[in-house]
Amino acid sequence: MAEDRIILGIDPGTTVLGYGIIQVINGKLSLLNFGIVQLHKLESHPDKLKRILDRLNGLIMEYKPDEMAIEAPFFGKNVQSMLKLGRAQGVAIAASLNHNVPYEEYAPRRIKQSITGNGNASKEQVAAMLQHLLGFQEMPKYLDATDGLAVAVCHVFSKGVGENNKNNGNSWTAFLSQNSDRVKGGNPTGIVKKRLTTKDKITTPMKKTQSRNPKP
């Protein structure tokens, strides 16, 4: 990764989208801008997607980021909300690719872990840590702005290695190690125990028994 670069961080949403822009020079982080894109006043979903595209195109043209980092999709119970959020994420990614800006994705838990050391940290805790790290004076009204900023900082701390660069073969093991509380029976080590299949089962030969009524 380059020693002098600008990172655009995106916290996608269909009501409020947060963004943060930082510059990294010789490992030192400085804040360029952070804020939100209001979407709740727009009635139709296509209008929201267009607003996201237009605003991100403007930010990319103004700040000329070298890389973009975005929060990866998460799995929820509301399918419709997930689909709409996925479209918003897709539009943000399309905006970066349209300007030849490479992107990387980071899971929500990993972002919180990299900023605060706690994967279950609250928005307020993340924002407070970023304020201490980057030295901005006033806390924004919408913490979606600091969420977007957190994605950019996570990208730097992770040295650009996100979900896209993970070894697919170890992805399930990595998920278990990061979410041991969601595994039945604990299994804090994240070791996957293989379930024996019919082919794997070891069979032992049955001992021959003498007949109770042997033939004369």
67 a catalytic residue: no
Gap between the Cα atoms of 25 and 28, Å rounded: 5
Select which of 67, 71, 104, 147 is catalytic: 71
Gap between the Cα atoms of 20 and 146, Å rounded: 7
> All domains of the chain, ordered by start, with CATH?
4-161 (3.30.420.10), 167-192 (no CATH)
144 a catalytic residue: yes
- For the segment 116-175, what is each residue's pLDDT rounded down to a tens digit? 999 999 999 999 999 999 999 999 999 999 999 999 999 999 988 888 776 543 444 444
Gap between the Cα atoms of 12 and 40, Å rounded: 13
Phi, psi of 111, deg, nearest 5 = -60, -50
Q: What angle do CA 106, 108, 114 make, to 5 degrees?
A: 75
HSE-up (13 A, CA, CB side) for residue 94: 12
11 a catalytic residue: yes
What pTM did the predictor assign? 0.75
Select which of 67, 104, 105, 144 is catalytic: 144
